[in-house]
Structure 1
């Protein structure tokens, strides 16, 4: 016996079922799909059937909600700011643009200064939010805080205004129109 004499077992190899090749083949006209309906059309695939068992998409609970207008707030501790100042990455004036580059954040992010850590030198910080403890520590060290109203992305979109000014520009508030009595 050698490799040239090897053959598959009898009945192991069958010809492919040729569908839709005329009425004489037994699988012509409707090609074994029955008459009309969604299942006879091309592109139809049956959804995953688990054979009477409760399907997984019904077994698992629905939960959660993604808020479409959520604010992505990045926390920055005073200890981080002190470290940046020691390493020379930040000066005594820290702006939103500096925070974006130091935290490798996006332009649409907000920054919140948190009070974990101590400051040794006075710092001027511009951020969107500041915790009470951070505010006390910054003022105690002789620094100042400026709250930004907008993100960098929003500030860049304001025409004829530098980004620094755009950050401080308050957002328009919705006001109810007063009805005029006639």
Structure 2
């Protein structure tokens, strides 16, 4: 595997090192030892598969807070997605910055999402399937989210949002979260 560090410290694009022969290719998609060598948390508590009927479907922006903060290794196994992460670590030099990465079944890339990063994606093709390896169990009491179209972040999604859950549509704007924290 090739680990390509992004501009958000601790977040990596992971490319396969394919071994080709007359049958096709073989590649390792995960190795706890290699993840540890790059300072990443290799724990896997759950593996999830997300299927999206229509292109334009948006899921996110989700994260969990301590003590249930989770890492994710996200890979598109069918079709194409545009994957976005936002650094929500207040102590980080890239706090509140985001990046977007195209993950496709053809490019075989994965995105390693550190703890305290909001994560979401948009399906770019009908029938897109996304596989997640998650480092912590889903814990609803620690779940947080951000609005996908929050003007503070100005995320440039590749296409119009055609499908989104009520929950994702109603996450608070960052401004509302900080005002609420200041008043609390």
Using the size of structure 1 for normalisation, the TM-score is: 0.23
Question: Which structure carries more strand by proportion?
Answer: 2
Question: Which structure carries more helix by proportion?
Answer: 1
Q: Which structure would you say has the larger RCO, counting Cα contacts within 8 Å and 6 or more residues apart?
A: 2
Using the size of structure 2 for normalisation, the TM-score is: 0.23
